[in-house]
Amino acid sequence: MTELILQALFSGVLIGSVYALVALGLALAFGAMRIINLAHGELVLLAAYMAYLVESRTGLEPYAAIPLALAVVSAVSIALFMLVNMIRDHRELNSLILTFAIGIILTNAILLAFASDMRTTTSAFLQDAVSFGDVYAMRGEIIAFALSLVLMGLLWWWLKASWYGRAVRAVSSNRGAAMLMGINPTRIETVSFLVAGALASFAGVALYTMSVVQPAVGHALTVKAFIITVLAGVGSIPGVFLGAVLLGVTEALTVTLASSALQELAGMVLFLMVLFLMPNGLFGARARRG
């Protein structure tokens, strides 16, 4: 039993790190524009299918698809950004509906292009089991975990040290003041969407190497990412990482201790509990009251 629980904790942490990448993209776009991009999960999904495309057509390792995924997802992300920018009034509500619609379009486009079958990597290298004492993982999971940590580190450094990163933070905390400092918010928003798209690209490819994807997964990923940002409260990178790991672990433990049918239930209940009982999230403060 203990081994099973340990194994669940371990797997939860590994998948949680990829959830964190997804959630960080969502949070970045939210920070810049105050809109929840309900098509964010579909961007991740798109990248996963680019990995499938490259692997099935060329026989290369899925990670070879990164450049293609980056190009495609960034293009879609920018198109999405431009569409959202066309909204004039009732921005909050209309951007929700618009990005939701784009999510429907992307899901069905993927369905049309790749059918509804479940896909996952066929790479023997990535599917090899690696053992750490009593717990096991696929090599793909370990690589994805390491990649996520590196990307989070890079993102942290970028937000902290680069001019763009600081401008992004300035725009998210106070748009008016940022404009007074000579920051062009539209340019910053564009950059935020690009970076969110880049994170989604890596997350999608990583997801393909460690888990199964199908068109409906996009929507589920958006919801997971949203849950994580609620858990994390303030948009700090360690907070999002912890929230994501918490979600991953909760799901994995539910599957181990109860049943896989309840996996989603656990995430949702966790979400509602935090939403109602801890208005500031687990690790910080952000107003979400009307």
Partner 1 sequence: MSDTASSRLLSGRSLAMAGGLVVVGLLPLAAGASPYMLGLLISSLILAGLGLSWALLGNLGGMVSFGHAAFFGVGSYASALLAAKLGVPVLLAIPLAGGVATLSSLAMLPALRLSGPYFALAILAYAQIFRILATEASWLTGGAAGLQRFPGLPTVFGFNFAERHGSYVLVLGMVVLCALIYVVIRRSYVGIALRAIAESEDATRVVGVNSTLLKTWMLMLSAFIAGMFGALNAHIIGFLEPDYAFSGIWSVMPIIGAVFGGYRSVIGPVFGAVVIYMFDQVIAKSLIPVGHQILLGIVLAGMVLLAPNGLAGLVGRIFSRTGGKHHARA
Which positions lie near partner 1, rule CB under 8 A?
Answer: 36, 83, 86-90, 92-94, 96-98, 100-105, 107-109, 111-112, 115-116, 219, 223, 226, 230, 261-262, 264-265, 268-269, 271-272, 275-276, 288-290
Residue 133's region, left for phi above 0, alpha for psi from -120 to 50, else beta, is: left
Handedness of CA 166, 93, 290, 268 (dihedral sign): negative
Closest to partner 1 by CB, 255 vs 262, is: 262
- Least CB distance to partner 1 at residue 88 (A): 8
Closest to partner 1 by CB, 11 vs 254, is: 254
- Least CB distance to partner 1 at residue 42 (A): 10
Q: How many CA atoms lie within 13 A of 12 on its CB side?
A: 23
Closest to partner 1 by CB, 161 vs 272, is: 272
- Least CB distance to partner 1 at residue 284 (A): 16
Angle of helix 40-58 versus helix 217-232 axis, rounded to 10: 130
Encoding tokens for residue 33? 């524009």
- Least CB distance to partner 1 at residue 273 (A): 10
- Least CB distance to partner 1 at residue 1 (A): 23
Encoding tokens for residue 193? 């969407």
Beta bridge partners of 135: 132
- Least CB distance to partner 1 at residue 17 (A): 23
Is 203:25 a contact under the CB 8 Å cutoff? yes
Closest to partner 1 by CB, 146 vs 269, is: 269
Closest to partner 1 by CB, 18 vs 26, is: 26
Helix (H/G/I), strand (E/B), else coil: 135: strand
- Between CA 80 and CA 51 the distance in angstroms is 22
What is the distance between the terminal CA atoms of the chain, rounded to a whole angstrom? 45
- Least CB distance to partner 1 at residue 6 (A): 27
Q: How many residues does the chain have?
A: 290
Closest to partner 1 by CB, 193 vs 202, is: 193
Closest to partner 1 by CB, 13 vs 110, is: 110
Q: How far is CA 276 from the centre of its chain?
A: 23
